[in-house]
Amino acid sequence: MSRRGIVRHINVSRGGVPNRPVPAARIGRTGLQGDGHDDPRHGGPEAAVSLFSLEVIARIAAEGHPIDPGTTGENLTVEGIDWSLVVPGTLLGLGDVVLEVTRFTTPCRDDPGVVSQ
């Protein structure tokens, strides 16, 4: 694996999964433009962009599980990063944007009265 990753898929959704591929998206403080998490009441700066590894997706699919880029809700599917080294505090450069991994994600709840933290 190289020390530099490549964004292979950009995925957005106005809510729920799967996230659908888009050719491009702007990243702002509250997330990817056009994504449901670009509303500061839901995501906010510390939960604005979700990342996942294409290599991990491929490994899970090879085990027979139904998974593809975007189906776990990630906004950016990246390739070429040693996923075991991506921990809170990691900085990832994506073009002119630097993202900080703030935490591991937990699944969102469908209950409209519950906002994911």
**How, if at all, do strands 31-32 and 76-79 pair?**
unpaired
pLDDT (0 to 100) of residue 7: 92
CA 75 to each of CA 14, 47, 113: distance values in angstroms, whole numbers, following the listed order: 12, 11, 23
Q: What is the pLDDT along the chain (117 residues), one digit of tens a residue?
A: 445 788 999 999 988 789 999 999 988 877 888 888 655 666 666 667 889 999 999 999 999 999 999 999 899 999 998 989 999 999 988 777 788 888 887 765 544 433 333
| Domain with residues 6-100, CATH architecture | Beta Barrel (2.40)
pTM, two decimals, is 0.81
